[in-house]
Amino acid sequence: MELELEMPMEGGGEQGRWEEERLKTASLIFGAKKEREKGLKAEREKYQLILEEDEMINFVSSDKSPCDNEQYSAALSQAEVQKQSIQEVRRSLPVFPYREDLLLAIQQHQILVIEGETGSGKTTQIPQFLMESGYNDGGMKIGCTQPRRVAAMSVAARVAQEVGVKLGNEVGYSIRFEDCTSERTVLKYMTDGMLLREFLTEPDLASYSVVIIDEAHERTLHTDILFGLIKDIARFRPDLKVLVASATLDTERFSCFFDDAPVFRIPGRRFPVDIFYTKAPEADYLEACVVSVLQIHVTQPPGDCLVFLTGQEEIETCCELLQERCRRLGSKISELLVLPIYANLPSDMQAKIFSPTPPGSRKVVVATNIAETSLTIDGIIYVIDPGFCKQKSYNARTGMESLIVTPCSRASANQRAGRAGRVAAGKCFRLYTAWAFKHEMEESTVPEIQRTNLGNVVLLLKSLGINDLIHFDFMDPPPHETLVLALEQLYALGALNHLGELTKVTYCSEEVLTIAAMLSVNNSIFYRPKDKVVHADNARQNFVVPGGDHMVLLNVYTQWLESGYSTQWCYENFIQFRSMKRARDVREQLEGLMDRIEVEVCSSGGDIVPIRKAVTAGYFYHTARLSKGGYKTVKHQQTVYVHPNSSLFEEQPRWLIYHELVFTTKEFMRQVIEIDSSWLLEVAPHYYKNKELEDSSSKKMPRKQGKAKEELG
């Protein structure tokens, strides 16, 4: 089926062509081995002259060729292309020559899979082609989903500019808590989660003529559910066009899932990228990133650099370390612009990564894997890849979900490397060994649906009237036991009765709402700038109240509310205003939902026991008991520790419930609350046996007992 649409392509397959081109360039420019060695020696000398204080990292090339100045000059003039008119840029994108073929294929087939290299114009151009050929006639909409908020916003802004309209008019976006669309909007970019929500109010998506499921290869939970739902509605809506767009990964699977839908391949344009590995594993990859950036900066020709890290904290630390080193080196080195990018970064800061680098300086973008395929930053020549990402992982046996830093897949590593070859030949420095790449990394990333707690999915599908979850058409069905466990948990929690209705009465819903909202903004409440650590920690200490971290979060929110949701108050107390604002949005939304299902919002009036009991009722399977040197989870005897940031870090109460586990240097519990073990029997008698909760460890409580004795004596 696919052959009739496949576009001509030289060489044997994408990978083959990449290799081939790379070798060709290599032998063309860097033929002489001696020349190259001379070059490397000069690099080393230059480096040591400037950065004598640092150990240099030894990279080994996977083959022959570093790229040179000549190539970069070509790159720079490519970057100059930026000065072209916006229409010229559009015409220069790889998708452009295929406009007519693509439109014809869309006309002929209801469902089409579109595959193309990142940056080829899938997201920004294809919806415009559709608009230009009238798919929005009669007020119909074209929807395009993105797994990431940042991508939905930035792409919509870009397209509005290309179309020449104000963002939010004909072209808009919709993400949770932010609807930037209007009556006039015909092209709507949105997160995959938002389109799922639209199914609640419009189960057949009647207002859409085309739905584009973009970045399908990411296989997020929401995208995977959309696949099943959209495949279903496409059957009774023959007028609906469905496009599944993906980077060059796994497109056969999509085609197969959608009843052998044809694949339209947009041939990529990619320059050779040389891959370097470290000789030995790096003990501290963050430090190794910093050294590598400086190494590139002083030894390599101009060209911007992209570093992949796993999350906000790491990114901030890396940026600070880089800035600090640059300050110390002063005028010994040319200017280095250090720019972070992650989902929670304020949008004006996000926009900065797209602005052109001033001549004579170099830009370093330190990113999460958001820059892997969702965002294209022009001018990147060097990529530094430590080989890690943060991943949700779920163990159905223990019922535990944790966010852990894990080695990324080879497919991810190759996408990352590809970012260096968009405008010219580039280099990718992998901070791991060639052996690790081959033997320690998985081939591809496991879809999110297979490593997540399905509680929310079950609730969502139930609310869409889909009751038979076991037979839902998943592209990769979640493990049977995970699904059964989710149903059991929801039933045990009283969230599902046999009819699937929500039933929940507490006497402290007011406080629990706030806590749930605060927990949802995920550890970004407290601001701790490196140069004001002491002040920040003092400010944080001032919020501590008995009970645990959940109570601290409640306290922060309450005080903020009393300040009239003041920005100044946040600033003075080292609280992130953006996060608080988000918590407020989440809270309002939850309150609205409670209103709809007629659950009363009431307060416990200062009594903290019902609040802690409510948390226990919701998270009873996250219980840990103090044991020698740390904690042990009750059901599975896994050793875990209180996170140093916790208000209970010093106190170490005997029984805890944790919100989540994160693995960094150890398995840490983040956001913990102190409980009484007897509550567990009260709220989850079906789960706990009396015997499991006996305090056999009462002898081993030296700290508290000692203190009590002193007070007595």
Q: Residues 350 to 389: which contact ligand CDP by CB under 6 A?
A: 354, 376, 378
How much is the CA Rg of the chain, to the nearest whole Å?
A: 27
Q: CB 189 → ligand CDP: shortest distance, Å?
A: 11
Structure tokens given for 309: 């890290």
Cβ–Cβ contacts within 10 Å for residue 577, how many?
17
> Judged by CB under 6 A, which stretch of 114-122, 230-238, 660-668, 683-691 contacts ligand CDP?
114-122
Q: Which is nearer to ligand CDP, 80 or 260 (CB)?
A: 80
Q: CB 247 → ligand CDP: shortest distance, Å?
A: 7
Q: CB 411 → ligand CDP: shortest distance, Å?
A: 16
Structure tokens given for 75: 């790159």
CA distances from 111 to 4, 242, 259, 402, 678 (A): 15, 5, 9, 36, 56
Q: Which is nearer to ligand CDP, 157 or 483 (CB)?
A: 157
Distance CA 435, CA 122 (A): 35
Of the residues 22, 141, 158, 632, which one makes contact with ligand CDP according to CB under 6 A: 158
Q: CB 237 → ligand CDP: shortest distance, Å?
A: 26
Phi and psi dihedrals of 531, rounded to 5? Answer: -85, -5
Q: CB 96 → ligand CDP: shortest distance, Å?
A: 10
256 Rama class: left (phi>0) / alpha (psi -120 to 50) / beta: alpha
Q: CB 476 → ligand CDP: shortest distance, Å?
A: 24
Of the residues 71, 125, 128, 312, which one makes contact with ligand CDP according to CB under 6 A: 125
120 binds, among ligand CDP, Mg ion, none (CB under 5 to 8 A by kind): ligand CDP
Under the criterion CB under 5 A, does residue 125 sit at the interface with Mg ion?
Answer: no
Under the criterion CB under 6 A, does residue 154 sit at the interface with ligand CDP?
Answer: yes
Count of positions on this chain that bind Mg ion (CB under 5 A): 2
Contact call for residues 423 and 380 (beta carbons, < 8 A) = yes
Under the criterion CB under 5 A, does residue 523 sit at the interface with Mg ion?
Answer: no
Q: Which is nearer to ligand CDP, 111 or 114 (CB)?
A: 114
Q: Which ranges constitute the DSSP H helices of 95-244?
A: 99-108, 122-132, 149-163, 192-201, 221-236
Q: Which is nearer to ligand CDP, 78 or 627 (CB)?
A: 78
Q: CB 497 → ligand CDP: shortest distance, Å?
A: 44
Q: Which is nearer to Mg ion, 122 or 643 (CB)?
A: 122
Of the residues 121, 302, 340, 379, which one makes contact with ligand CDP according to CB under 6 A: 121
> Judged by CB under 6 A, which stretch of 150-158, 201-209, 613-621, 666-674 contacts ligand CDP?
150-158
Q: Which residues of 612-644 are buried (b: 16+ CB within 10 A; e: fewer)?
A: bbbbbbbbbbbbbbbbeebbbbbbeeeebbbbe
Q: CB 151 → Mg ion: shortest distance, Å?
A: 7
Q: Using DSSP, how many helices (H) and how many strands (E) does the chain show?
A: 26, 22
93 binds, among Mg ion, ligand CDP, none (CB under 5 to 8 A by kind): ligand CDP
Of the residues 120, 123, 154, 181, which one makes contact with Mg ion according to CB under 5 A: 123
Q: CB 303 → Mg ion: shortest distance, Å?
A: 23
Q: Which is nearer to ligand CDP, 30 or 354 (CB)?
A: 354
Under the criterion CB under 6 A, does residue 613 sit at the interface with ligand CDP?
Answer: no
Q: Which is nearer to ligand CDP, 243 or 431 (CB)?
A: 243
604 binds, among Mg ion, ligand CDP, none (CB under 5 to 8 A by kind): none
Q: CB 354 → ligand CDP: shortest distance, Å?
A: 6
Q: Residues 492 to 521: which contact Mg ion by CB under 5 A?
A: none
Under the criterion CB under 6 A, does residue 118 sit at the interface with ligand CDP?
Answer: yes
Q: Which residues contact 39 (CB under 8 A, 6 or more apart)?
A: 66, 68
Please, which residues bridge with residue 364 across strands?
305, 338
Cβ–Cβ contacts within 10 Å for residue 706, how many?
10
Residue the block writes with tokens 């480096």: 47
Contact call for residues 669 and 658 (beta carbons, < 8 A) = yes
> Judged by CB under 6 A, which stretch of 151-159, 425-433, 450-458, 522-530 contacts ligand CDP?
151-159
Contact call for residues 215 and 85 (beta carbons, < 8 A) = no
Q: CB 425 → ligand CDP: shortest distance, Å?
A: 17
Count of positions on this chain that bind ligand CDP (CB under 6 A): 16
Q: Taking Cα atoms as reference points, which of 281, 311, 307, 280 lies closest to residue 292?
A: 307
Distance CA 74, CA 603 (A): 66
Distance CA 116, CA 212 (A): 14
- Cβ-proximal residue to Mg ion, closest one: 123
Distance CA 381, CA 75 (A): 8
Q: CB 311 → Mg ion: shortest distance, Å?
A: 22
Q: Maximum CA pair distance of the chain?
A: 89
Under the criterion CB under 6 A, does residue 124 sit at the interface with ligand CDP?
Answer: yes
Please, which residues bridge with residue 337 across strands?
363
Under the criterion CB under 6 A, does residue 127 sit at the interface with ligand CDP?
Answer: no
121 binds, among Mg ion, ligand CDP, none (CB under 5 to 8 A by kind): ligand CDP
Q: Which is nearer to Mg ion, 123 or 489 (CB)?
A: 123
Q: CB 122 → Mg ion: shortest distance, Å?
A: 5
Phi and psi dihedrals of 171, rounded to 5? Answer: -115, 125
> Judged by CB under 6 A, which stretch of 122-130, 166-174, 512-520, 546-554 contacts ligand CDP?
122-130
Distance CA 633, CA 641 (A): 10
Contact code string over 61-100 relative to ligand CDP, x by CB under 6 A:
--------------------------------x-------
CA distances from 388 to 47, 124, 320, 431 (A): 27, 29, 20, 10
Report the amino acid identity of residue 104: L
Q: Which is nearer to Mg ion, 123 or 223 (CB)?
A: 123
Q: Taking Cα atoms as reference points, which of 254, 257, 192 lies closest to residue 222?
A: 192
Pairing of strands 667-674, 639-642: parallel
Under the criterion CB under 6 A, does residue 155 sit at the interface with ligand CDP?
Answer: yes
Q: CB 83 → ligand CDP: shortest distance, Å?
A: 13
Q: Taking Cα atoms as reference points, which of 516, 496, 475 lies closest to residue 256?
A: 475
Distance CA 503, CA 485 (A): 19
Contact call for residues 150 and 166 (beta carbons, < 8 A) = no
Under the criterion CB under 6 A, does residue 116 sit at the interface with ligand CDP?
Answer: yes
> Judged by CB under 6 A, which stretch of 117-125, 618-626, 641-649, 687-695 contacts ligand CDP?
117-125
Q: CB 249 → ligand CDP: shortest distance, Å?
A: 12
Strand spans (E) along 396-524 = 400-407, 426-430
Under the criterion CB under 6 A, does residue 145 sit at the interface with ligand CDP?
Answer: no
> Judged by CB under 6 A, which stretch of 115-123, 205-213, 249-257, 634-642 contacts ligand CDP?
115-123
Q: Which is nearer to ligand CDP, 124 or 523 (CB)?
A: 124
Structure tokens given for 228: 């099943």
Q: CB 484 → ligand CDP: shortest distance, Å?
A: 38
Please classify residue 244 by burial: count the beta carbons closer than 10 Å to its beta carbon, then call 0-12 exposed, 13-18 middle and 19+ buried. Answer: buried
Residue the block writes with tokens 């939010």: 168
Map residue 116 onto helix, strand or coil. Answer: strand
| Interacting residue ranges for Mg ion, rule: CB under 5 A | 122-123
**Which residues are at the interface with ligand CDP (CB under 6 A)?**
93, 116, 118-125, 154-155, 158, 354, 376, 378
